[in-house]
Structure 1
Amino acid sequence: MSRVWLVVPMVIIGVLYAALLHFMTMPVFNNILVHCIIFGAAFGIINFVAAYLFFKRLDKLKELNNQLSSSLIMDKLTGLFNRRAFDNDIKNVGHDGRYSLIFLDIDNFRDFNHFGHDIGDDVLRKVGQTIKNCVRATDRVYRYGGEEIVLLLMDCDKKNASKMAEKIRSEISGIDNQPYPQITVSLGVSSFPDDGLYIQDVILASDKALLKAKQSGKNCAISC
Structure 2
Amino acid sequence: MSKLWLLIAMVFTGIIYAVVLLYFMPMPVFNNILLHCILLGTLFGVVNFIVAVLYYRRHEKLKSLNQQLKSSLMKDSLTGLLNRRAFDQAIKDVDDSSLYSLIFLDIDNFRDFNNHFGHDIGDNVLRKVGETIKACVRATDRVYRYGGEEITLILMDCDKKNALKMAEKIRSGISQLDNQAYPQITASLGVSSYPEDGRNIHEVIVASDKALLKAKQSGKNCTRSC
| TM-score exceeds 0.5 | yes
Alignment identity in percent? Answer: 73
Residue 218 of structure 1 and its aligned partner are, at CA, apart by: 1.1
Match of 1:170 in 2: 172
Moved more, 199-208 or 164-173: 199-208
Matched, 1:43 2:17: no
Q: SS of the counterpart of 1:186?
A: strand
Moved more, 77-86 or 52-61: 77-86
Match of 2:24 in 1: none
CA contact (8 A) 2:74 2:82 kept: yes
> Within 5 A, what are the aligned runs for 1:18-29?
none
Match of 2:223 in 1: 221
Q: 2-side partners of 1:57 and 1:180: how far apart?
A: 51
Q: 1-side partners of 2:190 and 2:178: how far apart?
A: 24
Residue 34 of structure 1 and its aligned partner are, at CA, apart by: 4.4
Residue 208 of structure 1 and its aligned partner are, at CA, apart by: 1.1
Count of matched residue pairs? 195
Residue 152 of structure 1 and its aligned partner are, at CA, apart by: 0.9
CA contact (8 A) 1:140 1:151 kept: yes
Q: 1-side partners of 2:194 and 2:82: how far apart?
A: 22
Unaligned runs of 5+ in 2: 1-31
Match of 1:95 in 2: 96
Match of 1:206 in 2: 208
For 2:155, give the aligned amino acid: L
Q: 2-side partners of 1:163 and 1:119: how far apart?
A: 29
Q: 1-side partners of 2:162 and 2:110: how far apart?
A: 28
Q: 1-side partners of 2:83 and 2:74: how far apart?
A: 5
Q: TM-score scaled to structure 1, two decimals? A: 0.81
Residue 113 of structure 1 and its aligned partner are, at CA, apart by: 4.8
For 1:57, give the aligned amino acid: R
Match of 2:69 in 1: 68
Matched, 1:185 2:204: no
CA RMSD, 1 decimal: 1.8
Q: Residues 108-139 of structure 1: CA distance to partner in whole angstroms, max 9, x if unpaired?
A: 11214533322211211111111111111111
